[in-house]
């Protein structure tokens, strides 16, 4: 006796940008679609919920985008930040399809706004979602509902059942502590990375990883990724690579999002818990350096550091989530931050003595460097001597991981015996197929949008065939 | 001009806490005028929070878009936080304050006010029965109506003016230019701040979906209200200027304004009430829900009884309906500085101040 035919043509794992894009395209192609999401409705949308924009190629001014951002310039930017560790063919595929994504988003209720105040440098390259990523997710979920797509929340996928023939047959899911089986014809994996899985991070990074903060959703625990890798799916990306930035150390363990970002480092000195400096704070403009500071802080004792500024620099950067710790003397500030006062005073005195006169310009590399100081501060080096003094605690904040599933240009996942006939992947779970390291702001959402749409189209075609 | 200090309050502190998080996030910049104003400052004095609160139109876009909305630990609910501050500020400006606390919160109080006003009008009709007059002036003379309504109109007007002056000082308003008024009038007429920044409207009765229903219902109500006002004004003009007495024909100005005005006011206010019933009370100031509902029903009753009065012309029902209508109108006017009606004045002032800040 044969098993009953599965009710769903396409099952999508994860209700983020990539998953919902796939679901909508598949449903519009006539497929019956089910989306499984481990989070409750309030936390649907994974890390996409926290985003603000996506990077979009355009030949001339387009919607909120100014000027022109062509394919080659886009690819060059990508090559530079990834130090050439980019799959150029897949990257070009993403770049060329990005303008269609803008049209797709608008057609499905996503609205855009001019680049936010404080982010003018992105007005040409990145299209900002009005209301941010959660507004995009809301629009997609409404579009999905209107298309008759079923979304099952609080349903965690635990295991992908691959049959004798090497194809996907069903999913083992957990709902309210109970295991269930859901059968389907095709599967799109869009369940994000494993950045919220501290055990897994600790495997790659050592125990220090347990002190990291996770900037996004607590639900991206990588259960699907681990299960696929255990079954022999091909992997790409370095497990020890993750996008990790220095954020406000007072932010919550998970889900602090964009607001926990701190932009004060270039105008400050950064000391570790012993009150000692450890890196050039003024090496480059902040957008080009923020992503190395996560690792720098991660390498310090207890994975913590403190950014110290004085009154004249207090207003030079975007406002912070929480007000800084302030004090009228360095000793008092040290006490409030839990730093050794004598060491902090000594570090600041040494730094101040190494500062040289010159013109300070917060908007560009001003060459105002310290002299005979190790490590040097090569730009924006002004003495820290005007009370009140301010301090921010910094901790590493993980944005996303790179280890993922290897896919081809049709988003098909590679298995132990070649491509799976009916499994596709989109978004962060396969982003390692394109980027090996580094990151270009707004590219994560573009990958999800492009590959999500490809996966949805292909899965629907196979299911309907 | 003397600065007025905003007294500290828990509502202001909560709104400030949320505004500081928004300022580090900024994702909602394009929804309304509140965010561009907010993002000009790094810190927020109490008066800044009051200004933001009065500019907020409670479109709720920023709630549904917020990645930090409850159950997130940051517990962002800016529409509610600003609604609470707004309500507190109107109470503070109202004179006497206690009346605002009463009418903002208690729908029953407004109903009682209407009942008392209707009863008073009945008594007046009995005591001041006219000897001549046509139409409803045969029930209550024009002179008596004017004597009753002039103070009813002037007293709240004075109280409102006093409140507005205090608001203006508190937010540091400057001398008003014509261009400020023009900008504010345009913003109010289009209800820009309920358009969602994209023209598809606000998030009110349909959760995270955008609709223009509330925007249209509000403008129907406002247009109806203004038309009814114009009807009364043109009637006064006819009466004193031209010596023509009511009742007027269908093609007279009072009727041409009044009939569509009454229809719009009634339908618009009922629609607003219906939307409010469907919307999530936790995204406004929940304590004010009853008072707000009573207020829109009062508006609807004003429009409906006006229309009924016209329809009943010449029948024995006129005295009853006239008392009902005049009583409702009287209660509405008297409670203006203390009811939701105050929003029209403060919000307009906030739009004027915003225009000043943008210039
Ligand atoms: C704070 C922050 C800001 C960012 N800003 C930007 C930006 O502005 N622009 C940009 O391009 N990128 C940005 N990124 C990166 C971006 O978030 C990701 O690249 C993108 O969201 C990935 O989309 P996705 O759909 O693949 O995954 P997600 O959006 O994370 O969605 C994955 C979904 O799968 C669900 N899930 C996970 N495991 C399971 C399971 N076992 N069963 C069922 N469901 C499961 C999760 O709950 C989640 O809803 C940012 C990231 C962070 C953390
Ligand atoms: S309401 Fe939320 S999403 Fe909007 S600006 Fe404030 S913190 Fe950001
Ligand atoms: S509720 Fe609407 S008007 Fe009020 S602050 Fe939020 S987005 Fe602006």
Nearest to B67 among A113, A257, A315 (CB): A257
B66 dihedral zone (left: phi>0; alpha: psi -120 to 50; beta): beta
CA nearest neighbour of A292 among A279, A309, A304: A279
**Measured CA angle at A34 (ends A30, A38), to 5 deg:** 155
Return the H-helix or E-strand segment holding A401: strand A389-401
Give Cα separations from B194 to A113, A315, B13, B269, B289 (angstroms): 16, 33, 25, 17, 19
Give residues (CB < 6 A) around ligand 1: A 13-19, 36-39, 44-48, 50-54, 156-157, 190-192, 215-217, 219-220, 223-224, 257-258, 399-400, 427-428, 442-445, 448
Output the CA A14–ligand 1 centroid distance in Å.
9
Is residue A34 within 8 Å of A20, Cβ to Cβ? no
Put simply, the answer to whether A111 touches B70 (Cβ < 8 Å) is no
In this structure, what token pair is assigned to residue B16?
A: 């400030």
In this structure, what token pair is assigned to residue B220?
A: 């129907």
Residue nearest to atom 8 of ligand 3 (CA): B32
Give Cα separations from B132 to A102, A353, A410, B128, B318 (angstroms): 73, 98, 90, 12, 16
Residue nearest to atom 7 of ligand 2 (CA): B22
Which mutation among B56, B78, B82 tests ligand 2's pocket best, with the greatest number of atoms within 8 A of CB?
B78
| Residues of A with Cβ-Cβ distance to B30 under 8 angstroms | 111, 113-114, 130-131
**Rounded to whole angstroms, how far apart are CA atoms A299 and A318?**
26
A409 pLDDT exceeds 70? yes
Interface of A with B (CB under 8 A): 42, 49-50, 52, 111, 113-114, 116-118, 129-135, 138, 142, 252, 255, 257-261, 315, 318-323
| Nearest CA distance, B171 vs chain A (angstrom) | 23
DSSP at A276:
-
* Structural domains of chain A ordered from first start: 8-239+402-464 (3.50.50.60), 244-397 (3.90.700.10)
**Rounded to whole angstroms, how far apart are CA atoms B146 and B154?**
12
**Rounded to whole angstroms, how far apart are CA atoms B264 and B9?**
39
Is residue A183 within 8 Å of A170, Cβ to Cβ? yes
Angle between helices B107-127 and B289-311 (to 10 degrees): 30
Q: What is the pLDDT along chain B (359 residues), one digit of tens a residue?
A: 445 677 779 999 999 999 999 999 999 999 999 999 999 999 999 999 999 999 999 999 999 999 999 999 999 999 999 999 999 999 999 989 999 999 999 999 999 999 999 999 888 888 877 777 777 777 778 788 788 778 878 889 999 999 999 999 999 999 999 999 999 999 999 999 999 999 999 999 999 999 999 999 999 999 999 999 999 889 888 877 788 877 788 888 989 999 999 999 999 999 999 999 999 999 999 999 999 999 999 999 999 999 999 898 889 998 899 999 999 999 999 999 999 999 999 999 999 999 999 98
Question: Is this complex's ipTM strictly greater than 0.85?
Answer: yes
Query: What is the number of the ligand 2 atom nearest to the C-alpha of B65?
Result: 3
Dmax over Cα atoms in chain A, in whole Å?
A: 87
In this structure, what token pair is assigned to residue B269?
A: 């206010």
In the predicted model, what is the mean pLDDT of chain A? 95
Model confidence pLDDT, tens digit, residues A259-303: 999 999 999 999 999 999 999 999 999 988 888 999 999 999 999
Angle between helices A133-146 and A17-28 (to 10 degrees): 20
Which mutation among A17, A51, A188 tests ligand 1's pocket best, with the greatest number of atoms within 8 A of CB?
A51
Give the pLDDT band of residue A61 (cuts 50, 70, 90). very high
Output the CA B217–ligand 2 centroid distance in Å.
27
**Rounded to whole angstroms, how far apart are CA atoms B121 and B76?**
48
The residue of chain B with its CA nearest to that of A143 is B209
For A329, other C-beta atoms within 10 Å of its C-beta total: 13
Output the CA A253–ligand 1 centroid distance in Å.
17
B60 in ligand 3 pocket by Cβ < 6 Å? yes
**Rounded to whole angstroms, how far apart are CA atoms B283 and B271?**
19
**Rounded to whole angstroms, how far apart are CA atoms B342 and B288?**
13
For A447, other C-beta atoms within 10 Å of its C-beta total: 26
Model confidence pLDDT, tens digit, residues A120-141: 789 999 999 999 999 999 999 9
DSSP result, A348-382: HHHHHHH-------TTS------SS-SS---SS--
Nearest to A315 among B42, B64, B71 (CB): B42
CA nearest neighbour of B187 among B336, B343, B32, B357: B32
DSSP at A249:
T
| Residues of A with Cβ-Cβ distance to B74 under 8 angstroms | 259
**Measured CA angle at B230 (ends B227, B233), to 5 deg:** 155
Nearest to A131 among B61, B70, B72 (CB): B61
A313 pLDDT exceeds 50? yes
pLDDT at B1: 41
pLDDT at A180: 96
Nearest to B65 among A131, A142, A255 (CB): A131
| Nearest CA distance, B86 vs chain A (angstrom) | 23
Q: How do strand A235-236 and strand A404-405 relate by DSSP bridges?
A: antiparallel
């Amino acid at each position: 006796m044969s098993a009953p035919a599965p009710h769903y043509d396409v099952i999508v794992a994860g209700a983020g940008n990539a998953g919902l894009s796939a679901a909508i395209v598949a449903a519009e192609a006539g497929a019956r679609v089910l989306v499984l999401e481990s989070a409750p409705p309030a936390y649907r949308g994974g890390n996409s919920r926290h985003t603000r924009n996506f990077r979009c190629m355009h030949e001339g001014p387009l919607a909120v985008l100014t000027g022109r951002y062509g394919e080659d310039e886009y690819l060059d930017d990508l090559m530079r930040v990834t130090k050439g560790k980019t799959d150029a063919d897949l990257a070009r595929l993403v770049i060329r399809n990005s303008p269609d994504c803008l049209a797709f988003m608008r057609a499905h209720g996503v609205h855009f706004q001019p680049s936010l105040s404080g982010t003018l440098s992105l007005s040409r390259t990145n299209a900002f979602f009005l209301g941010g990523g959660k507004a995009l997710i809301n629009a997609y979920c409404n579009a999905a509902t209107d298309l008759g797509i079923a979304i099952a929340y609080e349903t965690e996928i635990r295991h992908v059942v691959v049959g004798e023939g090497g194809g996907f047959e069903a999913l083992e899911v957990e709902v309210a502590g109970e295991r269930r089986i859901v059968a389907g014809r095709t599967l799109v994996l869009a369940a994000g990375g494993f950045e919220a899985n501290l055990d897994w991070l600790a495997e790659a990074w050592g125990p220090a990883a347990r002190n990291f903060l996770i900037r996004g959703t607590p639900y991206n625990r990588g259960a699907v990724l681990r299960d696929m890798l255990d079954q022999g799916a091909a992997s790409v990306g370095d497990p020890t690579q993750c996008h990790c930035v220095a954020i406000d150390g007072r932010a919550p363990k998970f889900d602090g999002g964009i607001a926990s970002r701190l932009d004060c480092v270039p105008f400050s000195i950064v000391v570790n818990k012993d009150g000692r400096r450890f890196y050039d704070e003024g090496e480059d403009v902040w957008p080009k350096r923020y992503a190395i500071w996560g690792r720098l802080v991660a390498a310090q004792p207890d994975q913590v550091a403190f950014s110290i500024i004085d009154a004249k620099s207090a207003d030079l950067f975007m406002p912070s989530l929480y007000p800084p710790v302030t004090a009228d003397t360095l000793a008092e500030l040290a006490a409030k931050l839990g730093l050794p006062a004598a060491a902090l005073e000594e570090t600041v005195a040494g730094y101040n003595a190494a500062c040289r006169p010159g013109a300070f310009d917060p908007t560009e590399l001003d060459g105002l460097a310290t002299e005979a100081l190790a490590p040097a501060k090569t730009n924006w080096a002004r003495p820290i001597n005007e009370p009140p003094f301010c301090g921010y605690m910094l901790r590493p904040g993980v944005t996303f991981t790179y280890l993922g599933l290897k896919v081809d240009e049709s988003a098909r996942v590679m298995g132990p015996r070649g491509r799976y006939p009916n499994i596709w992947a989109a978004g962060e779970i396969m982003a390692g197929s394109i980027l090996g390291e580094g990151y270009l702001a707004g590219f994560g959402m573009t990958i999800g949008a492009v590959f999500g749409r490809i996966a949805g189209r292909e899965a629907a075609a196979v299911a309907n065939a | 001009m003397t600065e007025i200090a905003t007294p500290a309050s828990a509502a202001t502190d909560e709104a400030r806490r949320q505004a500081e998080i928004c300022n580090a996030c900024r994702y909602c910049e394009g929804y309304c005028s509140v965010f561009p104003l907010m993002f000009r400052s790094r810190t927020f004095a109490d008066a800044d929070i009051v200004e933001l609160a009065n500019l907020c139109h409670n479109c709720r876009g920023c709630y549904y878009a917020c990645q930090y909305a409850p159950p997130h630990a940051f517990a962002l609910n800016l529409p509610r936080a600003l609604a609470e501050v707004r309500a507190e500020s109107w109470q503070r400006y109202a004179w006497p304050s206690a009346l605002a606390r009463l009418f903002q919160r208690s729908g029953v109080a407004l109903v009682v006010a209407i009942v008392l006003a209707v009863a008073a009008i009945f008594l007046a009709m009995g005591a001041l029965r006219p000897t001549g007059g046509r139409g409803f002036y045969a029930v209550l003379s024009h002179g008596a109506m004017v004597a009753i309504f002039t103070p009813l109109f002037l007293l709240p007007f004075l109280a409102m003016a006093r409140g507005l002056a205090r608001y203006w000082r508190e937010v540091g308003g400057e001398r008003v230019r014509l261009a400020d008024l023009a900008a504010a009038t345009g913003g109010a007429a289009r209800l820009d701040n309920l358009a969602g920044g994209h023209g598809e409207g606000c998030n009110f009765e349909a959760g995270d979906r955008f609709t223009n229903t509330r925007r249209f219902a509000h403008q129907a109500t406002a247009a109806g209200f203004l038309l009814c006002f114009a009807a009364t004004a043109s009637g006064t003009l006819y009466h004193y200027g031209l010596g023509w007495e009511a009742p007027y024909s269908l093609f007279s100005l009072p009727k041409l304004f009044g009939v569509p005005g009454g229809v719009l006011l009634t339908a618009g206010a009922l629609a607003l009430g219906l939307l409010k019933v469907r919307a999530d009370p936790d995204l406004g100031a929940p304590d004010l829900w009853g008072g707000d509902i009573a207020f829109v029903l009062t508006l609807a009753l004003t429009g409906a009884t006006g229309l009924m009065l016209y329809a009943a012309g010449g029948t024995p029902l006129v005295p009853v309906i006239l008392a009902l209508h005049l009583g409702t109108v009287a209660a509405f006017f008297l409670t203006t500085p203390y009811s939701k009606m105050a929003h029209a004045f403060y919000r307009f002032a906030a739009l004027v101040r915003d225009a000043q800040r943008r210039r």
